[in-house]
Amino acid sequence: MMEKISVNMENYSANKIYPSALFLYGTYKENGSPNFGMFCWFNYCFDSELTIMACIGGNKLTKDRIRENKIFSANLVTEPLLPLADYLGTTVGYTKEKMEIPVETEQGAVLKVPVLKNSPWIYELEVTQTIALNGSDLYVCKIRNILIAKDLSDKSKKEEEHIKNLKPVLWFGTGKYYSANPAILGNTAEWKDSFKR
């Protein structure tokens, strides 16, 4: 049997663990140039259709631009993108020189949002509801489009191969980046019969 203990979140915050995929949110600045920030408070919900929940805390340029325009892109951070993502995630958005770096972007296919040419999985999102929290904003977003690398649509490859090739970067809140390195554990409904025995 697994022994459990309760922990105080204030004292435990240095060791918190919450697995999340990382995304670079793309917005356009007032002058029309692209801006990207890295975030991990990103998840899915269902509201008559698949919907995205994204949360941004504190004062950030990305948050200002989402508040103003109600649209943004969410670009999956992959291992090849990690150096860029780390730079974008640790450099303050209000820093004038932040985006004066070599980064290939283009406009989304449906919304006027910047997207990273080298991200293999991108959501174009429209904010339909904003919930003000204590210092953070939670955005409920309609998925207006999903851009994926063409090879991810190759039906001759198994889904596990596609997932391995994506190489998403995970964040557990510990100040370290992790490889997803997925392994198949089985199919849905395969496990329940062995549980009954």
SS (H, E, C) the chain: CCCCCCCCHHHHHHHCCCCEECEEEEEECCCCCEEEEEECCEEEEECCCEEEEEEEECCCHHHHHHHHHCEEEEEECEHHHHHHHHHHHHCCCCCCCCCCCCCCEEECCCCCCEEECCCCEEEEEEEEEEEECCCEEEEEEEEEEEEECHHHHCCCCCHHHHHHHHCEEEECCCCCEEECCCCCCCCCCCCHHHHHC
CA distance 23 to 155: 26
Residue 177 bridge partners (DSSP): 171
What is the pTM assigned to this prediction? Answer: 0.89
For residue 169, the tally of other CB atoms under 10 A from its CB is: 23
CA distance 27 to 77: 16
Beta carbons of 54 and 39 less than 8 angstroms apart = yes
- Per-residue pLDDT tens over the stretch 67-125: 999 999 999 999 999 999 999 999 988 888 899 998 999 999 999 999 999 999 999 99
What residue ranges define each of the domains in the chain, with the CATH number in brackets?
16-196 (2.30.110.10)
The residues, any chain, with a CB within 8 Å of residue 1's CB and separated by 6 or more, are: none
Report the pLDDT value the prediction gives residue 33, as an integer from 0 to 100: 94
Which residues in the chain land under pLDDT 70? 5-17, 195-197
Report pLDDT for 128. 97
Length of the chain in terms of residues written: 197
pLDDT of residue 7: 67
What is the reported pLDDT for 197? Answer: 55
